[in-house]
Amino acid sequence: MKKRKVTWRFALIIFVVFVMFISKGIKEHRNDLMREKLYLYLLEEENQSEVFNTAVALNGGKTANTCVYFVSEALRRNNIMIPEYTCNTSQLISELTSIGWTKKGDYEKLGPGDIVFTTDTAGNSDGIPTHTYIFMEWVEEGSYDYAYICDNQANEYGSTYHIRNIKKPDEVDGSTKEAFSFFMRP
């Protein structure tokens, strides 16, 4: 009788571990699909334009300091519900954290659809990020300096989809662009 109890418990433990493993795999796959959907959505110039125009409208018609509105709107259009009142990087980080997104610090692990945050103006990674954008892909595979990204800075770069230096601060059109600090993904 005792042997049966041990065998039954062992089988139950194996089953629970199996279900947890499968559930984790399904969740990771769903999260990868969510990021891929965002990436594919933003490859379309018309979608970039619609997100930009909505972000500017949410920011009272101003194109400056519209990055959080841009990222949030792109996420909402892909069924990731970020409140419309979200207007700064601290709020966006908090909203993403509240729905289970986590911070990652290794920019070499960036993948399409990840949400990137920069350092603060002094270059500190533990400060309040000055900017956020959506990572699209590396300009050159295996090189981690420059990436294609999507953000609100069309006025400075000529398009919402453009190349940005990831590793170090850069100067674009007379404006300093802070370096990568971390990214978030589900």
Q: What are 57-71's pLDDT values in tens digits? A: 999 999 999 999 999
When mean pLDDT is compared across 9-13, 59-63, 119-123, 145-149, the lowest value belongs to 9-13
- Farthest CA pair distance, the chain: 80
For residues 13-35, average pLDDT: 63
The answer to whether residues 133 and 116 touch, using CB atoms and an 8 Å cutoff, is yes
Assign 29 a pLDDT band (cuts: 50, 70, 90).
low
Return the pLDDT at 32: 83
Return the pLDDT at 117: 98
Assign 174 a pLDDT band (cuts: 50, 70, 90).
confident
More confident residue, 87 or 171: 87
Assign 122 a pLDDT band (cuts: 50, 70, 90).
very high
Instruction: Classify residue 172 as exposed, middle or buried by CB count within 10 Å of its CB (0-12, 13-18, 19+).
Output: middle
Assign 25 a pLDDT band (cuts: 50, 70, 90).
low
Share of the chain above pLDDT 90, in %: 77
Return the pLDDT at 56: 97
Distances (CA, A) of 69 to 19, 53, 65, 89, 185: 39, 10, 9, 10, 18
Residue 181 pLDDT greater than 60, yes or no? yes
